[in-house]
Amino acid sequence: MSTTFPPRAGAPGRAGRFTEADCRLDEFTALLETETDLGLYPYADRAVRGVLCYGAAAVDAAADPVAREELSDEIAQALLTGPGIVVFDRAFDDRHGLRASTELFTAMIAAQRATGAGGGDHFAAPGANDRIWNALQKHALRDPASFARYYANDVLALVATAWLGPMYQVTSAINVVNPGGTAQSPHRDYHLGFMAPETAKRFRRHTHLLSPALTLQGAVAQVDMPVSSGPTLYLPYSQRYEPGYLAFNLPEFREYFEANHVQLELHAGDAVFFNPALFHAAGSNRSTGIRRMANLLQISSAFGRAMDAVDRSAILRAVYPELVALAASGDSRGVENLIAASAEGYAFPSNLDRDQPLGGMHGETQAELTRRALDAGLAPAAFAAELAALDERHRP
């Protein structure tokens, strides 16, 4: 009886576990020799060195429900079997308070420095980078109006839903790479990319294939990023390489990455989304004066676990008046997008002694509670009380 599960040509032995011996550079490079055929991606504006770029026409098309579904299918295909990376030109602009958000993040970093808080970064030497961890919650609490404008963004909701389905969980980290900041080593991202190879090896092949479906990586360029400032380096199509979570650590794969990576200049407001299994690395900032600021969005499937611990009740209490105003303006899409970025959309884990379903399969979620409060015109204090009761029903 075969010990390989599930069966496939060239599958690893040992009951479907990858080892370094399965990592073959020739097989990897053969996968990368794919031309990006724009005919397969009719909503894309252009392909640049294999990377699919979407313009305003795609965003406008997303307002139509049928076109939105087609575009979502296209984005999911691009991330799964296509180049693994899409760029949306100017996805964020002054309608989303882009410039004001950059000023806010700059002020937050200055405050962190002044108090000696934050600053630790597991990817860089001390001082080379500035970070705001859990920027989602800090942004919402510091300036709810700015947060609401930013996260009502429809491109973010479109791509997150296309890849992860509904009930996704947004987290954010602001990353500033200062002049002189050096490049990262090529890697894959969370989940299996964030552990030692010896640990990743203990997960069988099906989990290596599953890991990318649990997360979407996004980055919003908060400022213009010419190549000299070191925007991220990528290898399009590398997410398709099955043993890639082990291969990215190997010298011959690192050398190949060094020689063959793609690097795209970005403009302020451009948003990049990529499959977390794509080989990538932040570039070196060789500019003399550009503090390269990106909002790194790590968006989790409802079925995954995010890296950041986020107090979503606190975000909702802060943002609720903004949601009320947005609902009153008639922007129902913006309301949904903002709820999706703020609230817990999934019902579990919960305390099933206390959290009895009133109908259906589960108790009310934070997102459902928020929609109900908006529909009923609940006052902020009453909404906060209901949120606290929901938190209590979820407490072990």
- Phi and psi at 369, nearest 5°, equal -60, -40
Whether the CB-CB separation of 395 and 351 falls below 8 Å is answered with yes
- C-alpha distances (whole Å) from 361 to each of 176, 346, 364, 373, 396 are 44, 12, 10, 21, 19
Whether the CB-CB separation of 109 and 138 falls below 8 Å is answered with no
> Is residue 141 classed as helix, strand or coil in its secondary structure?
helix
Return the residue of 22, 189, 242, 364 that touches Fe ion, per CB under 5 A: 189
E strand intervals along the chain: 46-48, 51-54, 85-88, 129-132, 169-177, 215-221, 233-234, 262-263, 271-274, 280-281, 292-300
Q: Which stretch binds Fe ion (CB under 5 A): 1-9, 185-193, 250-258, 316-324?
A: 185-193
Q: At closest approach, how far in Å is the CB of 323 from Fe ion?
A: 32
- Decide whether 189 or 336 has the Cβ nearer to Fe ion: 189
- Decide whether 189 or 344 has the Cβ nearer to Fe ion: 189
Q: Which stretch binds Fe ion (CB under 5 A): 125-133, 186-194, 340-348, 382-390?
A: 186-194
Q: Does 191 bind Fe ion (CB under 5 A)?
A: no
Q: Which stretch binds Fe ion (CB under 5 A): 2-10, 35-43, 189-197, 372-380?
A: 189-197
- Decide whether 130 or 189 has the Cβ nearer to Fe ion: 189
Beta-carbon count within 10 A of 128 CB: 16
- Nearest CA to 170 out of 194, 136, 147, 140 is that of 136
- Decide whether 189 or 364 has the Cβ nearer to Fe ion: 189
Q: Which stretch binds Fe ion (CB under 5 A): 183-191, 250-258, 330-338, 380-388?
A: 183-191
Q: At closest approach, how far in Å is the CB of 170 from Fe ion?
A: 17
Q: At closest approach, how far in Å is the CB of 370 from Fe ion?
A: 31
Name the site residues for Fe ion (rule: CB under 5 A).
Answer: 189
